Amino acid sequence: MRLVFWTMFAGITISLLMGFFWVDELWPRVVVNNRVIGELPAVQDKPSERTLMSLPRACSRRTAMPAGAGLGWPTLLGPRHDGTSPEMGLDLEWPEEGPLEKWRIAVGAGYAGPVALGDVVVLLHRKGQREVVECFEPESGQTRWEHSWGAIYECPYNHSSGPYAAPVLEAGRVYAIGAGGDLYCLDLESGAEIWRRSLHEDYEVEIEVWPVSASPLIVGDRLIVNIGGRKTGAGVVALSKETGETLWTATEDGASCATPRSAVMHGRTFVFVWTADALVSLDPEDGNVYWRIPFCAKNYEAAHGTTPLVTADVVFVSGYQTGNLCVRVSPDGACQELWRDKGKLLDSQYNNLLYVDGDVVGFSITRKSLRRLDLATGELKWQWRSKALNGTMIAVDGHYLLFGEKGHLASLVFDEEGARAVSMTRRPVLAPPCLSYPALHNGLLYVRNEEEMVCIDLRREEG
């Protein structure tokens, strides 16, 4: 009898210890200089906090144009492709009632974020069995024009059937690519078609996990797309932005959801593409591959979608079930690996990464926390949890606008000790899930889900 008792006691004790260590791993602690400085409990919304928040309306009022305005938000990550805005003088501290809502309109399905430039806002979304590029008036949300084509893709997973890629606005044109691989160049003023390509057909693309989800990248006179044409050596392609003709193809890699990024280093221009298989550095002129570092998850369904972070001569990527990779580009175009890990520090899935004073700041998808890492070493400096869980951010005027996947909107400030919410809406401003990137243009913030798009007025009143 005693033997049975002690056997049961030992089993229970071991189970409790295993459970303790398991929970401790799921709730990682903040460690600075090998010292634990605090634990982060999970954040739970109260039922009353899940209902949508009615924001105060921005009625007729005289507003001041923010300093630094005019560059717009013409791509997924803004005018500088890095999630930062040059605008200043915005109202980034709101009362308890929240920021001012200028308008709210119904939109279709998809994860593609809005883009804005000049006097237009453009959204690629799905209405029924049509993918639609729709141009709106920024002050009213009224439709100016539409251009559509048949939607052929149906997602086999519990996610949207797209479209997924934010359009690109440049020089009076709109470049938009749908979930079926159809790439359109449209006139920004009228919506008239200038040219189009069926990229999935042209490059014999076989959809592996997701269809084309990365936004195109404009570098000079060419449009570069992470398309995934393995069989035709067209993992990455460059097209003439004027005519749509193929200029070069490169790699036999599959497509990821990560938008390419370009940068000038050591006097030359590089394009960095995180394909389904590797982080690749290319010459935008001819597609020559400078280097290719295999870096992907063992589970091929764990598609990554975070645009590479590029600063000075350093390139950093982070992905779900993939981990982190940081490299330095040398003057001869080669690269040196600085550090990597398997996701214990950060694992961004689709949320953007920001460069902040020598560090990288981004969301961990598994730990549901915002984290700050030393970019040079990977050292974790701090983490922060909130009811927003995960989200995308815009750095503007010393603040960080956060649009959370649960629909909350926040204005944050960072320092070496952590993040602090200057303002955060008590409840969601849009029903979750909210997986599209926001856009900021002329003091107006545009956010969407798969049912509505909301314009938040962050401009200050004159006088």
The pLDDT of residue 304 is: 86
- Domain residue spans in the chain? 61-457
pTM higher than 0.85 for the full model? Answer: yes
> Domain 61-457's class?
mainly beta
Q: Is the pLDDT of residue 202 over 80?
A: yes
Handedness of CA 339, 342, 346, 352 (dihedral sign): positive
Rounded Cα distance between 256 and 61, Å, is: 45
Question: What are the structure tokens assigned to 40, written together?
Answer: 């982060």
CB 362 within 8 A of CB 319: no
Q: So what's the pLDDT on residue 389?
A: 87
Given pLDDT bands bounded at 50, 70 and 90, which one contains residue 26? very low
Looking at every residue in the chain, the average pLDDT score rounds to 89
Residue 88 pLDDT exceeds 90:
yes
Give the dihedral sign, CA 343/291/299/213: positive
Mean pLDDT of 303-311: 92
| CA gap 26, 364 in Å, rounded | 12
Give the per-residue SS3 of 298-356.
CCCCCCCCCCCEEECCEEEEEECCCEEEEEEECCCCCEEEEEEECCCCCCCCCCCCEEE
Q: Is pLDDT at 1 greater than 80 in this prediction? A: no
Whether 297 has a pLDDT exceeding 90, the answer reads: no
Assess contact for 239 and 197: CB atoms under 8 A: yes
Instruction: Identify whether the C-beta of residue 364 lies closer than 8 Å to the C-beta of residue 347.
Output: yes
List CB contacts of 347: < 8 A, sequence separation 6 or more: 318, 319, 320, 321, 322, 323, 324, 364, 365, 366, 367
CB atoms within 10 A of CB 323: 18
Residues 152, 224, 441: CA angle, nearest 5 degrees: 85
Q: Name the phi and psi angles at 457, rounded to 5.
A: -95, 110
Task: Read off the pLDDT of each residue in 165-169 and give the average, rounded to a whole number.
Answer: 98
Is the distance from CB of 194 to CB of 186 less than 8 angstroms? yes
The answer to whether the beta carbons of residues 445 and 401 sit under 8 Å apart is: yes
**Is residue 448's pLDDT more than 90?**
yes
What is the rounded CA–CA span in Å between residue 12 and residue 255? 48
pLDDT tens digits along 397-444: 999 999 999 999 999 999 989 999 999 999 999 999 999 999 999 999
| pLDDT score of 149 more than 70 | yes
pLDDT digit string, tens, across residues 374-397: 999 999 999 999 998 899 999 999
